[in-house]
A and B are shown apart, each in its own frame.
Chain A
Amino acid sequence: MRRYSAFAIAREAARHHQGWERAWRSPEPKKKYDIIIVGAGGHGLATAYYLGKNHGLTNIAVLEKGWLGGGNTGRNTTIIRSNYLQDPSAAIYEKARSLYETLSQDLNYNIMFSPRGVMMLAQTQHEIRGYQRTAYANALQGVATEFIGPQRVKELCPIIEIGGPRYPVLGALWQPRGGTARHDAVAWGYARACSDMGIDIIQQCEVTAIRSQGDKVQGVTTTKGSIDCDKLGIVVAGNSGVLADMAGFRLPLESVARQALVSEPIKPCMDVVVMANTVHGYMSQSDKGEMVIGGGTDGHNNYTQRGSFHHIEETVRALIETFPMISRLKMLRQWGGIVDVTGDRSPILSKTPLEGCFINGGWGTGGFKAIPGSGWAMAELMAKGASPLAAAFGLERFREGRFIDESVAAGVAH
């Protein structure tokens, strides 16, 4: 792989950029791989990358029915934070956040991780207590957060209305090392690095069946033919239930449309990410200048990738109360993605009833921030059969009642 750098750009500029090579190969599938990962989103690609990097396994295919990074990886609001309450969540999200800090250098691909800081507003006494608790928990978990007062909130984000008539801002949980990254670049960077290690990323290749012998996985049938494998990782977010069905087991997951929207680009006016859970809305400003806004989740299960407009209305109302200046901005685009949500709103990283078959899903509305940590843990789980980061997220927790419920800390927006 030819490395990216300012020098490479200068060299190519001299010849009109005719010499750039492909970022990732486009191979035909082999008959057999050691490991097949289904799903070339961020989580699937990261899993393949860390299997190669941490465990030396590269005889791997990543199968993608559409184009890589085309699902929730390319549809989210790009927020990265790890200020979670429960230990297992804080561990995996903080692992992810810390990997994000050096990911551009690891991948030799600028994923534009921007540690601009994330604040979650407290607008009721109850939220103050909840975020104070999270700050105490985070301190013991090794996650740097602090509870800040309204004046500090205003200093960090001058466009906030802290004296709003309905829900004045009473403080915030502040994670200065949280932030955002360029979501597509995360998928592309991992894909390029995987391809460079010899991992085959096969796009336009839909898995139509999972084959097994006895209780053990044997391979998959795809639109590009039959492919064998020793181990299979299902990393398909909203389609987890569909793949699990092919593998012969059921998952405690529901799939719903979740929406987001952006405004037209304006000059920089907001340097931090703000989440306001009492009124249900969150916002940041992209490097391009758009205000990136998270919307609501449909109340009914569906696969539309559209969502109902009244959620957009509710979100925009909430944000106009929080940031009155956005009233005269215009919504440029709204879209939806399909999120797979578990009963405790925490992910599944697990072995399955089918031997050799593993699943990584259920990230719900908060998967982007977890990508590197999720891939790291999933790779370890698949390579070694166990991973401390993944241990608490096994499927058995639903049977045992060992839930990892973040609703108290995360409010609604995850």
Chain B
Amino acid sequence: MSTRLATGGRFLDRNQPRVFTFNGTDLSGFAGDTLASALLANGRSMVGRSFKYHRPRGIVASGAEEPNALVNLGQGAAFEPNQRATTTEIFAGLKAESQNHWPSLEFDIGALNNLVSRFLPAGFYYKTFIHPRAAWKHVFEPIIRHSAGLGRAPKERDADRYEHFYHFTDVLVIGGGVAGLQAARAAAADGGRVLLIEQSAQWGGRAPVDGGQIDGKDPEVWINDALEELEKAPNVTIRRRTMGSGVYDHGYVLGYERIADHTPGDTRPRHRLWRIRAARVITATGAIERPLSFAGNDIPGVMLASAMRDYVVNYAVSPGDRTVVVTNNDDAYRTAIALKNAGLDVPVILDARPQAEGDLPRAARDLGIRIETGRAIARVKGRKSVTGVAICAQAGEGAVLEEIACDAVAMSGGWSPVVHLWSHCGGKLIWDEAGAFFRPDPDRAPISHDGQPFVATAGAASGQMTLAETLKDADSAGKVASRALGLAAGRKGAPKASQPQEGPITPVWMMPQGAGPALRQKMWLDYQNDVKVSDVQLAAREGYESVEHTKRYTTLGMATDQGKLSNINGLAVLSGALQNDIPAVGTTTFRPPYTPISMGAIAGEARGDIFQPIRRTPIHDWHDDNGAEWEPVGQWRRPYTYRRAGESTHDAVMREVKNTRQHLGLLDASTLGKIIVKGPDAGRFLDMIYTNMMSTLKPGRCRYGLMCSENGFLIDDGVVARIDDDTFLCHTTTGGAERIHGHMEEWLQTEWWDWKVYTANITEQLAQIAVVGPNARKILEALGGMDVSADALPFMAWADGQIGGFDARIYRISFSGELSYEVAVPASQGRALWDRLIETGQEFGVMPYGTEALHIMRAEKGFIMIGDETDGTVIPQDLGLNWAISKKKDDYLGKRAQARSHMTDPDRWKLVGLETTDGSVLPDGAYARGSGTNENGQKTVIGRVTSTYYSPTLDKGIAMGLVLNGPDRMGEVINFPALDGSATPARIVSPVFYDPEGEKQNV
């Protein structure tokens, strides 16, 4: 059983005990512990259950690569599933629960899967649950879904805050081990800006645990010196707890800083996403040890040799009293030595190699440790914890030579450089025969915009596995980066380092090498997803030969560690099964993030009220105070109606329409887009943008215009006012302002770049109020100021002047069919003008009206609404708007498209009015039924409703629609089926229901 050692622990502050809770039990650790080290210190080696077979799972690693020790962390609004115990720093009050079991970690019903695991090999679900068909949805899938997933789903809204940082640097160094420290020193020596980030809370990486000397000093001393130097340098920024998450094109790198995970509730943001733009990136991300594939290698108590060493040295945790070490390399001997030095028993080191003669084996022998070469583990004994190992010859099929009792196993299959960040943006790998790993190919680095490589690796990440070579490589990487940026690199050489000489590794992909099918079904590759050697071999046998097929068929490497422990072992097994070279089999694609990052951090500050900030007109607050029911329109909110006490929404709308038609209505029209188009070529430009002729418009006049896409479809409409010879003001729809401005700019910048035209979106600079109704002129005259008489300001004219003391521009335009003025004032004056209009308007029966009344009035008048009568498939000709299409112009956007055969087809659906025979309101969106079906069996349709309202003015339902040959069928009755099978008959009529002669608006 694991326990805490009486002394030692580099990271521990034994003066600061920390009480935390695991599965409801209070446990104690120290400041500096991770949750994993603290659990081990409390004898908890089993911490979870695997995904598929619900096998007991123990801590296997000591860092971000951990696949097993995932916990539900925290409670309520601070609850988080799948948190890695190995990267969770403990704090007082931490609450953690193990995952994926019921009813308890120790007794889990789901472990029944384990008993029938021979019936559940890779991909079994593709081969069964096929019949009967309904059973998949109702029986099998629910069972699979229920047993899938790891942590619980959070329930509450996240209480924490997240933020984004922008950072620009010459050189970004990722990884704060000795390689990263040295690369940063070298890169910074000549003044270049350097950012150094380290994912964990500790600087220095593995070197202090693994030993050796740097510049004659203990590594820990050298690390502290280097840190001190970097902290002092003004051109260097360093950050702990900040992971390099992903490398993207053009030197864009995401950093993921876990600011307050270990200090919850201290009001700081929990996570921070660094959006880094770096000229050069150095990844000093180290290497990850590989497990060995032997039967029972997943039983709690079996751990990576390096992780075990970390727990002993950094956290003073004994993984067990008796630890068997199994290896194919010299490095694992360091673990045996560390255990022995801590006073623990190492009954045997099983070395699969025929001989072990390096400095480290010698040192182990000197400590009296038994070493057996050419030996392997036949199987590990125990269920929820290791009780012993059976030993066999590596060369054989697994005949047991000896059994040894032990309570822990340390395994090492060699090391794999962490190449993720190198690979994210296209860096390629080569297979290193001597080291038995993939390493970055420096000749095929990720290339930036300038054709130059922008990512380099340093240290173990390059495949340099000794201290001396690591430092040399890192020093060179720093200098190369610095030089590439035109800086003279520092002249100081790399630090000198010494370490015991290591003998060569012998690749071992299966243990023993001749293991039969029964043993291979017990050799785990992916601990979390329960993928075994036999599964990969099955995939190969069935033709899933590509490494991507194998991954997807077996789920190898698809767990939360994304194959950090399993991928290389898995593809070595695959290459063995295919009798192909490992490099020919290749790797799966490395994708960001390096380890999972929180969604909260990705979203940053933009949540809740500022997810998409609401745009507010200067009159917004008045609406809010006066009963506005809001409707989102684009980024704005507009009042749908102003409901009074005791009124229904419908009643309110009816009242607003009637009042406007009979007396006076006010509409906040500030949200309508207003784009200034200015320059000597402005008229020419607008002649292309609009279907109408705009260049002939006289200053002081307005014209209603239509805009089409180059495919001929109507995209926006609005009133254009000519301000002076080379200035136009184009009104757009509320939702269209940004899009139309962009549309104009796209054409100006890409096609007509030599035309002398500027555009500016001034929507928010002006408040605009529509003053509408028979009393519109009276109220403006009551306010006093400029002449708004029919003679001075006729329909479709505009004028600048003063009204009621406000500097204003008044347009005589109407979207309701009533006498109507739109008064524009600087945004700062908008509210004051509105207040004055409301106050002065009392004697004229003023009422504000909302968007629904606006829509009804325009429909009564037969005016189209972009988005209702148009949907991206409608051309102006469909809407009877031929009068707005200039015949005199050579060209406009959409002209050529509108000449295509389908556009000129007489059988296009055309705009008409629709009236139900009983005065009811047609359903919105309903289609008119033709006869028969088309060749695909769909019922034929001959038209559809585009707008439909109850008209209080006419006291009946009115609608507009697009109908096949509609204008030629006036008076005909067509049928609109409802979803319940009934049908509403409607008569085709003119779309202008109200004042067809324009007597009301043109007075």
Q: How far, in Å, is B109 (CB) from chain A's closest CB?
A: 15
**What is the CB-to-nearest-CB distance from A22 to chain B, in angstroms, rounded to a whole number?**
4
Q: How far is the CB of A35 from chain B (nearest CB, A)?
A: 23
* Partner-binding segment picked from B74-82, B391-399, B751-759, B839-847: B74-82
Contact A313 B604 (CB under 8 A): yes
The answer to whether B600 has its CB under 8 Å from any CB of chain A is: yes
A333–B591 CB distance below 8 A: yes
Stretch at the interface among B226-234, B647-655, B920-928: B920-928
Residue of chain A at shortest CB distance from B152: A267
Task: Verify B81–A264 contact, CB threshold 8 A.
Answer: yes
Contact string, B500-527, partner A, CB cutoff 8 A, digits 1/0? 0000000000000000011001000000
Interface centre among A4, A90, A130, A266 (most CB of B within 10 A): A266
A328 to B157, CA, bound (A): 9
CB-CB < 8 A to A313: which residues of B? Answer: 602-604
Q: Tell me, in angstroms, the Cα distance from A110 to B130 when the chains sit together.
A: 6
Residues of B within 8 A of A135 (CB): 925, 979
**Is the pair A325, B155 in contact by a Cβ cutoff of 8 Å?**
yes
B118 located at the interface, meaning its Cβ lies under 8 Å from any Cβ of chain A in the complex: yes
Cross-chain contact A110 with B591 (CB below 8 angstroms): no
**A67 near B133 (CB under 8 angstroms)?**
no
> Would you call B603 and A126 a contact (CB within 8 A)?
no
Q: In the assembled complex, which residues on chain A have CB atoms less than 8 Å from the CB atom of B902?
A: 397, 400-402
A104 contacts B133, C-beta separation under 8 Å = yes
Interface residues of B in 469-507 (CB under 8 A from A): none
Binding stretch for chain A, among B305-313, B337-345, B938-946: B938-946
Q: How far is the CB of B261 from chain A (nearest CB, A)?
A: 11
Smallest CB–CB gap between A232 and chain B, Å?
25
Q: Which residues of A contact B631 (CB under 8 A)?
A: 124-125
Question: Do residues B602 and A91 form an inter-chain contact, with CB atoms below 8 A?
Answer: no
Q: Is B265 an interface residue (CB 8 A)?
A: no
- B602 engages A123 (CB within 8 Å): no
- Does B900 lie within 8 Å of A17, measured CB to CB? no
The 0/1 profile, CB within 8 Å of A marked 1, for residues 219-252 of chain B is: 0000000000000000000000000001011001
Contact of B119 among A9, A137, A326 (CB under 8 A): A9
Closest B residue by C-beta to A85: B871
Query: Does A242 sit within 8 A of B, measured CB to CB?
Result: no
Q: Which residues of A contact B937 (CB under 8 A)?
A: 91, 142
Closest chain B residue to A137, Cβ basis:
B927
User: Which residues of A, 51-101, contact B by the 8 Å Cβ criterion?
Assistant: 66-67, 69-70, 74, 87-88, 90-91, 101
Contact with B along A279-294 (1 / 0, CB 8 A): 1000000011100000
Q: Which of B32-40, B178-186, B537-545 contacts A (4 or more CB under 8 A)?
A: B537-545
Complex formed: what's the CA distance from A136 to B541 in Å? Answer: 51
The residue of chain A having its C-beta at the shortest distance from the C-beta of B529 within the complex is: A288
Cβ contact within 8 Å between B560 and A264: yes
Q: Does B934 contact A (CB under 8 A)?
A: yes
Establish whether residues A401 and B712, one from each chain, have CB atoms under 8 Å apart when the complex forms.
yes
Contact B153–A159 (Cβ < 8 Å):
yes
Q: What is the bound-complex CA distance between A25 and B543, given in angstroms?
A: 8
Q: How far is the CA of A182 from the CA of B141 in the complex (A)?
A: 12
CB pair A268 B126 closer than 8 Å = no
| Nearest CB on B from A288, distance (A) | 5
Task: Determine the residue in chain A with the shortest Cβ distance to B855.
Answer: A125
- A residues near B129, Cβ cutoff 8 Å: 110
Q: Which of chain B's residues has its CB closest to A22's CB?
A: B543
A404–B129 CA distance with the chains assembled, in angstroms: 39
What band does the interface of chain A fall in when counting residues whose beta carbon is under 8 Å from B? 35 or more
A391 at the interface (CB under 8 A from B): yes
Nearest residue (CB) in A for B156 is A325
- The interface residues of chain B lying within 8 Å CB-to-CB of A16 are 118, 517-518, 521, 534
In the bound complex, what is the Cα–Cα distance between A296 and B607 (angstroms)? 18
Q: Does B589 contact A (CB under 8 A)?
A: yes
Q: Which of A23, A101, A288 contacts B542 (CB 8 A)?
A: A23
Does B136 touch A at the CB level, under 8 Å?
A: yes
Whether A139 is near chain B, meaning CB under 8 Å from some CB there, is yes
- Does B929 lie within 8 Å of A140, measured CB to CB? yes
Q: Are B153 and A325 in contact (CB under 8 A)?
A: yes
In the assembly, what is the distance between CA of A325 and CA of B81, in Å?
11
Q: Is the CB of B614 within 8 A of A114?
A: no
Question: In the docked arrangement, what's the CA distance between A405 and B714, Å?
Answer: 13
Chain B residue numbers with a CB within 8 Å of A17 are 121, 517, 534, 538
Task: Report whether A166 and B977 are in contact in the complex, using a CB–CB cutoff of 8 Å.
Answer: no
Q: Is the CB of B562 within 8 A of A287?
A: no
Question: Is A334 touching B593 in the complex (CB atoms < 8 A)?
Answer: yes
Complex Cα spacing A332 to B599, Å: 10
Q: Would you call A331 and B602 a contact (CB within 8 A)?
A: yes
Provide the B586-603 mask, 1 if CB < 8 A to any CB of A, else 0: 000101110011111011
Q: Which residues of A contact B158 (CB under 8 A)?
A: 320, 324-325, 327-328
Interchain CA distance A31-B136 in the complex, whole Å: 43
**Could you tell me if A67 and B603 are in contact, using CB atoms closer than 8 angstroms?**
no
Is the pair A185, B538 in contact by a Cβ cutoff of 8 Å?
Answer: no
Which B residues are in CB contact (< 8 Å) with A174?
Answer: none
- In the complex, what residues of A have CB within 8 A of residue B935's CB? 388, 391
Listed by A's residue number, 22 A-B pairs whose Cβ atoms lie within 8 Å are A4-B128, A9-B128, A20-B541, A24-B543, A104-B133, A105-B130, A109-B127, A110-B125, A110-B130, A124-B633, A132-B923, A135-B979, A185-B126, A264-B596, A265-B150, A265-B560, A267-B148, A267-B153, A317-B603, A320-B600, A331-B598, A400-B900
Query: With A18-B541, A104-B133 given, can you name 10 additional A-B contacts, CB distance below 8 Å?
Result: A21-B542, A23-B542, A105-B133, A110-B126, A133-B926, A136-B927, A266-B153, A319-B599, A324-B157, A331-B596
List the 9 closest A-B pairs by CB distance, nearest first.
A289-B149, A133-B925, A330-B596, A16-B517, A269-B153, A401-B900, A327-B158, A4-B127, A67-B546
Interface residues, chain B, with chain A CB atoms under 8 Å away: 51, 78-82, 118-119, 121, 124-131, 133, 136-137, 141, 144-146, 148-158, 160, 246, 248-249, 252, 254, 424-425, 517-518, 521, 534, 538, 541-546, 548-549, 552-553, 555, 558, 560, 562, 589, 591-593, 596-600, 602-604, 606-609, 611-612, 614, 631-633, 640, 711-713, 867-868, 871-873, 897-898, 900-903, 923-927, 929, 934-939, 941, 944, 977, 979
User: A residues within 8 Å of B by Cβ?
Assistant: 4-6, 8-10, 12-13, 16-18, 20-26, 66-67, 69-70, 74, 87-88, 90-91, 101-102, 104-105, 108-116, 123-126, 129-130, 132-137, 139-142, 146, 159, 161, 165-167, 182, 184-185, 188-189, 203, 263-269, 278-279, 287-289, 304, 306, 308-309, 312-313, 316-321, 324-335, 343-344, 388-389, 391, 397, 399-403, 405, 407-408
